[in-house]
């Protein structure tokens, strides 16, 4: 009798649970079609509590979809296997995209805790698909009979990518090897997440609080005002706070005459996640590098870099390394000349010390003023965020005919975010673009483009992409708008180039759309956009003084042009150092047994990096390679640099807005996504393979 009572209670509770779960699902916005413009995520309705159940339900649904494929009694075909797999997991993708984007751009403690909890679950789910023997058997049957299938180019690429994805993710491994691969993937998922969270915590943790106005000597009024606004926002009115957000720390290093304070904030910056506390990444970096090496060798590759670069334009680490080393020697030579100039300025100031990293930006700015009579502060008033945005819109309209209209009826995930409808010249909608510009504690550093929905085609209807660009530009104050340095202007143009790659995509399958291309090709659309930013003809289109409305004068443009390759030795050397450090970590063929500090030090000493310059990213805050998907791929910026300078010459040698060339770049590069080999796409645009000469000339290395 007691047993029956327990059962009755059990059934009653189950019924209540199911009913409660249904009610809960009905309130979860992920479980229904978004009733919003462009069907954007309803950020105003989405709560943290919605993510985990939606992710778990997404996993459950995709498991059922995979089971339907593997239990299909019909012979495997392109449609019932490859396309069916491509279309699976819609809910999971829908939820995970929003979750990951918010965790990067507007995170909180609860989101980070959920991320830690679900990371191994998602890794396991991915492995369950990639290591599904029955599924791979069907894929291989289709792959083996591809010559008889009469597939078009995009279908061939989807089949190739699908087959290679499974092989590269362990489909051919034996049972014990698969178990080890699962363990590695699970551990890497957790470590990758932890690494990024540690960097964010360290960045948010530090504040340089200044109470004495005399310690602000050298800093421009706009920088001082921004620091005062930061202090006021933190309840410390009457003081000035400088943080490790790029806009704050770099401005301080560039202008502060107080060498001791420059040293203090510099050390905080370059020792992020290297302070022997809970946010330390020294051990994590080594663990990840070793796990990646083990995984690559388990899959039959010599190193992680060999594994990653197999599908890149470079094809192998030797070729990527060769490009880096070919540029290293002339870049280092130029950097040493620049260091000598700084040393002379130090002596002039009565400082006998050697040039330190925290001296570089300060004295470079002084040399720029002395040599070219150009103060970066002269430029900033002409580069308000709003004017720069309108300038980019103008460039894009002249190149591709696109228009941008701000929408105020679209949910956004933070008050700083704006939403823009993008249309063709004839009024046809292209997609929706979010823009999120200013630093905050809930946002990781840097700048990036992402998507909330990638472009695809269903039933001959183009599914419109929802794209977002996220940056960390100087905030406006009560008296001035957000005024950008020219580096920030270039970053804005850069990320907008990525956005165009996502917005203009014209493919059938989502996994091939937009920026789903090899890592060393994906930076071409972004980096080529930077070239328009500094052209005199273009500067006249978008630069207006925020107070007077005056267009930037010819004199200032002339000074900008004369600066040319100034400080490019430093910029190229610090970048190459980071790229070579990345390759060093990921070309190892056995476990790294040293500390990350020693590994980094030995690598850079062998290259001959001067002590006055450090790697652009050090091992403990190198988010690109340890938390951002660029492992063995940071070289891709310079690889794409070869492409973008070569491609821009096509415009430069004719006209900046050559309609024929713009159409060709759009059709052959921006619209094609990953549907063809990138070199074939580039040659279809240019008519020839790229030359390294324009890059050498641009950076003054020739």
Catalytic residues: 495
- In the chain the first and final C-alpha atoms are separated, in Å, by 91
Computed on alpha carbons and rounded to an integer, the radius of gyration of the chain in Å comes to 26
Q: Nearest-CA neighbor of 447 among 515, 402, 499, 406? A: 499
In 10 A of CB 433, how many CB atoms?
24
Q: How many CB atoms lie within 10 A of CB 112?
A: 17
109-130 and 48-70 helices cross at what angle (nearest 10)?
Answer: 0
Return the SS3 of 120. Answer: helix
Closest CA to 135 of 171, 97, 96, 175: 171
Is 123 exposed, middle or buried, given 0-12, 13-18 or 19+ CB atoms closer than 10 A?
A: buried
Name the helix (H) or strand (E) containing 422: strand 418-423
State how far the Cα of 452 lies from the Cα of 105, in Å rounded to an integer. Answer: 13
Coil, strand, or helix at residue 94? helix
The Cα 473–Cα 492 span in angstroms is 9
Kindly give the residue spans of alpha helices, DSSP state H, lying in 349-467: 357-372, 376-379, 385-400
CA pair distance 268, 207, nearest whole angstrom = 9
Residues 619 and 289 sit within 8 Å (Cβ to Cβ): no
In this structure, what token pair is assigned to residue 67?
């089971």
DSSP per residue over 316-363, as a string? SHHHHHHHHHHHHHHHHHHHHHHHHHHHHHHHHTT--SPP-HHHHHHH
- Maximum Cα–Cα distance for the chain, whole Å? 97
Say if CB 486 and CB 472 are below 8 A apart: no
Residue 247's CB: how many other CB atoms inside 10 A?
A: 23
| Strands 466-470 vs 429-436: parallel, antiparallel or unpaired | parallel
Number of H helices, E strands in the chain: 28, 9
Helix/strand/coil for 659 = helix
Separation of alpha carbons 218 and 215, rounded Å: 9
Token representation of residue 375: 């103060």
What is the rounded distance in angstroms from the CA atom of residue 153 to the CA atom of residue 174?
A: 33
């Amino acid at each position: 009798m007691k047993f029956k009572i327990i059962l009755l209670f059990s059934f009653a509770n189950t019924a209540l649970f199911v009913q409660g779960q249904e009610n809960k699902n009905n309130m979860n916005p992920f479980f229904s079609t978004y009733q919003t413009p462009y069907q954007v995520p309803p950020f105003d309705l989405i709560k943290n509590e919605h993510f985990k159940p939606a992710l778990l339900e997404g996993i459950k649904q995709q498991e059922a979809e995979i089971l339907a494929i593997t239990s299909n009694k019909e012979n495997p075909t392109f449609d019932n296997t490859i396309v069916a797999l491509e279309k699976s997991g819609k809910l999971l993708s829908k939820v995970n995209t929003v979750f990951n984007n918010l965790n990067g751009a507007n995170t909180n403690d609860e989101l980070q805790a959920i991320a830690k909890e679900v990371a191994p679950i998602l890794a396991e789910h991915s492995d369950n698909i990639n290591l599904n023997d029955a599924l791979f058997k069907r894929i291989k049957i289709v792959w083996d009979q591809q010559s008889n299938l009469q597939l078009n180019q995009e279908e061939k690429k989807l089949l190739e990518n699908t087959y290679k994805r499974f092989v590269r993710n362990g489909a051919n491994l034996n049972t014990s090897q698969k178990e080890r691969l699962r363990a590695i993937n699970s551990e890497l998922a957790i470590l990758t997440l932890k690494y990024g969270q540690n960097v964010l915590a360290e960045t948010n943790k530090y504040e340089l609080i200044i109470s004495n106005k005399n310690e602000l000597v050298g800093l421009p009024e706009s920088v001082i005002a921004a620091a005062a606004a930061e202090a006021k926002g933190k309840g410390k009115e009457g003081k000035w706070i400088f943080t490790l957000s790029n806009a704050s720390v770099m401005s301080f290093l560039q202008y502060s005459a107080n060498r001791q304070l420059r040293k203090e904030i510099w050390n905080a910056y370059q020792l992020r996640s290297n302070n022997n506390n809970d946010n330390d990444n020294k051990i994590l970096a080594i663990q990840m590098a070793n796990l990646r090496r083990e995984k690559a060798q388990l899959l039959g590759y010599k190193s992680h870099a060999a594994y990653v670069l197999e599908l890149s334009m470079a094809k192998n680490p030797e070729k990527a390394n060769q490009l880096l080393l070919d540029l290293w020697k002339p870049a280092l030579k130029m950097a040493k000349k620049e260091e000598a100039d700084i040393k002379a300025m130090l002596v002039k100031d009565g400082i006998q010390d050697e040039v330190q990293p925290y001296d570089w930006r300060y004295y470079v700015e002084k040399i720029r003023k002395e040599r070219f009579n150009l103060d970066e502060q002269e430029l900033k008033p002409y580069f308000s965020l709003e004017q720069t945005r309108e300038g980019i819109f103008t460039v894009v309209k002249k190149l591709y005919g696109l228009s941008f209209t701000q929408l105020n009826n679209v949910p956004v995930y933070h008050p700083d975010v704006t939403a823009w409808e993008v249309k063709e010249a004839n009024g046809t909608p292209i997609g929706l673009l979010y823009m999120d510009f200013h630093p905050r504690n809930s946002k990781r550093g840097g700048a990036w483009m992402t998507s909330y929905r990638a472009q695809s085609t269903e039933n001959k209807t183009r599914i419109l992409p929802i794209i977002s660009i996220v940056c960390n530009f100087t905030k406006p104050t009560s008296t001035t708008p957000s005024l950008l340095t020219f580096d920030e202007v270039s970053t804005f143009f850069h990320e907008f180039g990525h956005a165009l790659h996502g917005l203009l995509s014209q493919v059938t399958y989502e996994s091939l759309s937009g920026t789903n291309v090899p890592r060393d090709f994906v930076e071409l659309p972004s980096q080529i956009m930077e070239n328009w930013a500094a052209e005199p003809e273009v500067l006249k289109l978008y630069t207006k003084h925020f107070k007077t409305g005056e267009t930037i004068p010819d004199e200032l443009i002339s000074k900008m042009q004369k600066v040319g390759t100034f400080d490019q030795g430093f910029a190229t050397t610090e970048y190459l150092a980071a790229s070579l450090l990345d390759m060093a970590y990921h070309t190892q063929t056995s476990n790294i047994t040293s500390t990350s500090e020693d590994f980094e030090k030995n690598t850079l000493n062998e290259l001959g990096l001067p002590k006055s310059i450090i790697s652009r990213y050090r091992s403990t805050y190198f988010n690109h390679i340890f938390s951002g998907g660029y492992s063995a791929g940071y070289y891709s910026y310079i690889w794409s640099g070869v492409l973008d300078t070569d491609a821009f010459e096509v415009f430069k040698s004719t006209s900046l807005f050559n309609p024929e060339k713009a159409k060709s770049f759009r059709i052959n590069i921006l619209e094609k996504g990953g549907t063809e080999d990138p070199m074939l796409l580039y040659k279809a645009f240019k008519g020839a393979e790229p030359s390294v000469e324009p890059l050498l000339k641009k950076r003054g290395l020739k």
